Structure 1
Amino acid sequence: MGRLQDKVIVVTGAAQGIGEAYAKGFAAQGAKVVVADLNTEKGELVAKQIEADGGSALFVSVDVSSAESAAALVEQVVATYGGIDGLVNNAAIYGAMQFDLLITVDWDYYKKFMSVNFDGALVMTRAVYPEIAKRGGGSIVNQSSTAAYLYSGFYGLAKSGINGLTQQLAHELGGQRIRVNAIAPGPTDTEATRTQAGDASKELVKNLAIKRMGKPEDMVGAATFLLSDESSWVTGQIVAVDGGQTFRP
C-alpha cells in the first residue's frame, strides 16, 4: 500500500518539470492522478507513461485562470474517479516569463501573469474544495518559491501572494478538515529554469548549503507528506525545499 493509496490527486501544470515529477511520484505511491495542463500533447504523454508504469492517470486540459475551465475539470474528474482528495496548485507562467520591473511591466501582461501565477491557485481551490470536503477532508498544496523571500519582481510578488493565500485558506478551510500548505522550491534544474537562468544557475549554487541544483524529484517527498495522512495536523505552512538557500527564524 502506497502512502497515497487510492487518493485522487489533481496536479496542475503537470505536463513537465516539477509538476510532471509530482504526478509520477504520487502515482508511484498509489494515487489516482489527474494530469491537468494546457499542453495537451505533453500532458497526455505524462498520463500515458503513468498508466504504462502500472499507475492510474487521467489527462484533463485546464486553464487555471478560468473558473469555467476549473469547474469543467472537477466535473470530469468526479465522473471518472468519483471524487477528489487533494489538489496541487503548480501551474505557472515561468519558462516563457518576460523580465521587467513592477513599475514598468506592461499592465495587460502583468494581469495575465497574475491571473495564472497567483489567482489560478484560488480559482482551482474554489472549484475543488467542495469535492474534497465531501470526502471528509483532504489536502491542498500550493507551489510557492524561495523567490518570495528574494528580489524577483512580479514573479516573487506572485509567490509572496501564494504564501499569504496558503495561510488564509488554511484558516478558512480548516473547519472542513482541509489542510492547506505550500512548498517553496529553491533553484531547480528544469527546462524552464535553464531557459530563464542560463549560466547564472551556476552562481546560484554557490549560495546554497547543499552545493547542487535541485531536481524535480527532490520536491516529491515533501509534497507526498503534505498530501498524505501523515501530515494530518500540519496546515498553513510554507515548506522550503531549497538546499539551504533560505534561512528563516
Structure 2
Amino acid sequence: MDFKDKVVIVTGAGQGIGEGYARGLARLGCAVVVADINEAQGRRVAEAIGKAGGKALFAAVDVSSEASAQALARRAVDAFGGIDYLVNNAALFGSLEFNPLMSVDLGYLNKVIAVNMLGAVVMTRAVAPYLKRGAAIVNQSSTAAWMNIDYYSITKLAVNGITCVLARELGPKGIRVNAIAPGPTDTQALRDKVPQPYLDAMVAQMPLGRLGTPDDLLKALLFLLSDDADWVTGLVMNVDGGQLMRA
C-alpha cells in the first residue's frame, strides 16, 4: 500500500474517526485536506499533522452545499496539484437530535438528510471531475443502517445505496466507490451520545467484546483506497467486531 505523494480529502476530519483517518493517511505520506465545518477543530488537526512532519491543509466545507464542495475541490487541486482519494466521512451524529420520525420537525430532518445522506453525493460530484483512473472514494456508513432505529439509520442505509449507484456510474471511468460501516467506535461523540450502560450492553453482545477504535477503521480504509483493492467496488464493509453479521 503505497500512499506517498497521494492527495486525499477527508471530510469531517476535525475530530473522532475522521481525525483518525486524516492523521493515519498523513503518516503514510498522503497530503491531506482536512475538511470540516468546524474551523477550530479542523485547523487543530491540520496543524498537528504539520508538526508531526506531514502535509496537511485545512479547508472549511459544508458538505450539503454544492458551492462549498466545489470550492473545496478547487482549493485541494490548487494546493496539491490534484486529488487521488475522497473520504466522505462528515455527518451529524454527536450533536444530532434523536426525535421520533412521526414528530421530528421536517426542516430539521431535511438538514440531517442534506448532510448525512446527500453530502456524499454533493462531495463526489464536486471532486469527480479532478479524479483520474485508479482514484478511489470511500463513504462512511454505519451498522445503524440495518437497525431501523431512527432517521440516522435511514440516512446511513441510503449511503449504502448511494455507494453502489456511484460505483456503477464511476466504474467505467476507473474510479472505485466503497463504504465502511463502523460498529460502535470509541470516540467522544459516541460517549457524549450513548449512555455507558447502553454501551456496556452492546459490547457484551459483540463477539469480539470491545468498542472499536479509529485505528481499526483506518486499517479498512487503507485497504479500500489502495491498489490492493483495485477490483473491489460497490462494497459496504462492516468493521464492527461482529456486531452485525450479514450473510
TM tier, smaller: over 0.9
How many residue pairs match? The answer is 246
Q: Is the 8 A contact 1:4 1:227 kept in 2?
A: no
CA–CA distance in structure 1, aligned partners of residues 217 and 211 of structure 2:
12
Which residue of 1 is the match for residue 227 of structure 2? 229
Which residue of 2 is the match for residue 6 of structure 1? 5
Q: Is the 8 A contact 1:11 1:88 kept in 2?
A: yes
Out of 168, 171, 177, which is 1:171 matched to?
168
Superposed counterparts of 1:78-93, under 5 Å: 78-93=77-92
Out of 179, 182, 185, which is 1:182 matched to?
179
SS class of match (2:57): strand
Instruction: Report the alpha carbon displacement of residue 214 of structure 1 after superposing the two structures with TM.
Output: 0.8
Could you say what the CA RMSD is over the residues aligned between the two structures, in angstroms?
A: 0.9
Q: TM-score, normalised by structure 1?
A: 0.97
- Structure 1 portions without partners, runs of 5+: none
Residue 204 of structure 1 aligns with an amino acid whose one-letter code is: M
Out of 134, 138, 148, which is 1:137 matched to?
134
Instruction: Report the alpha carbon displacement of residue 104 of structure 1 after superposing the two structures with TM.
Output: 1.4
SS class of match (1:159): helix
Superposed counterparts of 1:1-249, under 5 Å: 3-132=2-131, 135-199=132-196, 200-249=198-247
Q: TM-score, normalised by structure 2?
A: 0.98
Deviations 1:95-134 (A, max 9, x none): 01111121211100000011000010100000001101xx
CA–CA distance in structure 2, aligned partners of residues 101 and 109 of structure 1:
12
Runs of 4+ in structure 1 deviating by more than 4 angstroms, as ranges, are none
Deviations 1:28-85 (A, max 9, x none): 1111111000111111110111111111111000000000000100111111111100
Residue 103 of structure 2 aligns with an amino acid whose one-letter code is: T
Instruction: Report the alpha carbon displacement of residue 3 of structure 1 after superposing the two structures with TM.
Output: 2.6
Q: Is the 8 A contact 2:134 2:230 kept in 1?
A: no
Residue 247 of structure 1 aligns with an amino acid whose one-letter code is: M
